[in-house]
Every structure is written in C-alpha cells, then in structure tokens.
Structure 1
C-alpha cells in the first residue's frame, strides 16, 4: 500500500545478458535517476551485483522488490594508437 505523502517510484523492466528469452525482471528506479530503454544499470542479485539492460520503463509493478543500485559506467574505447614517448627525456 502506498502512502499519499510518499511518491511512488517508477519501475524499470530489465533483461540479464545471458537470457535468450523475452523474460524481464522489475526493479525500482531511485529518485533522481533518469533512465531510458537501452541504458545499462547495476542491480543486486542473489549472486552479487551485475550489469543489466533496461528494456522498458513502467509506472508501477507488483513484482519489483529491489532498487537499481546505479547507472553502469560506459566503457572507454581502447585507443589503437601507441603511446607517445615523453619528449622531456633528453639525455
């Protein structure tokens, strides 16, 4: 039951990387975290934290029990260019 003075949290339907079917799991979205389908987030599971993909945003869910922990940091692309030598080393 929701309290009239407590704002309800939106819910994100997420899919785990290893899933081959269309099944999703619902997690509450923390206040102030703006998410859209396709975003990657970190959630707590029985086996620890893992990265999942947001599939859709819902206004409510009877299945959500846990909250999303945080947005997953984007992985920086690795540069193929070799490191430049330090020009200050003139012996």
Structure 2
C-alpha cells in the first residue's frame, strides 16, 4: 500500500456583509477546483439560513475549520447592467 498525498484544497476566509469593524470574524469555505478567487471578490455560500453573498478576505492553503464549499462567484452588476443599457440602433431615417 502506497501513501498517496491527498490533493490540497484552497480555502477562502470570508466575511459576511453584516460584519463591520476590526472585530469581524471570518469563516472558512473550500474553494471549488478551477475557481480563481482574490480578496475582495464576492461569492455565494450556503449558511443555516440559506444562500448568501459574502466577501473573500483571504485565501489560505489549508484550514481545519472549513466544511462547506463556496457555491459560485457573484457576477459583477456592471456587466449585467451594460448589456441592458446598450443603445438601440434606430434605423428609421
């Protein structure tokens, strides 16, 4: 039997929007494979009260506290808004 090293999963320390000030507590969530995140990114996670948007404050190599994965990245509002506000070409001369 060979000892195979297990794949390391990155962990994101996240902060909930209702947390303010220096005494904020962060919660660790696993980063899904292939999802690249940086501090300041907003993601969706599952909580006891359902899905919620949170801010990534740190990326860690490991954590003993993480037990759930991040569900997805929050798409920037500007991108969606720019699609809606594209000028319509009026070809009625």
- Give the structure-1-normalised TM-score: 0.78
Looking at structure 2, the residues matched to 37 and 71 of structure 1 have their Cα atoms a distance apart, in angstroms, of 12
Could you tell me which residue of structure 2 aligns to residue 10 of structure 1? 10
Could you tell me which residue of structure 2 aligns to residue 32 of structure 1? 34
* SS state at 1:33 partner: coil
Looking at structure 2, the residues matched to 32 and 16 of structure 1 have their Cα atoms a distance apart, in angstroms, of 23
Question: Structure 2 stretches of 5 or more lacking a match?
Answer: none
Could you tell me which residue of structure 1 aligns to residue 55 of structure 2? 53
Question: How far 1:6 moved relative to its partner?
Answer: 4.0
Alignment of structure 1 residues 68-83 onto 2, 5 Å:
68-76=70-78
- Give the structure-2-normalised TM-score: 0.77
Q: After TM superposition, what 4+ stretches of structure 1 lie above 2 angstroms from structure 2?
A: 3-6, 76-79
Cα RMSD after superposing both structures: 2.3
Looking at structure 1, the residues matched to 68 and 30 of structure 2 have their Cα atoms a distance apart, in angstroms, of 6
Larger radius of gyration: 1
**CA shift digits 1:30-89 (9 cap, x unpaired):** 00000000000000001110000000000000000000000001113868x8x87x564x
Higher helix share: 2
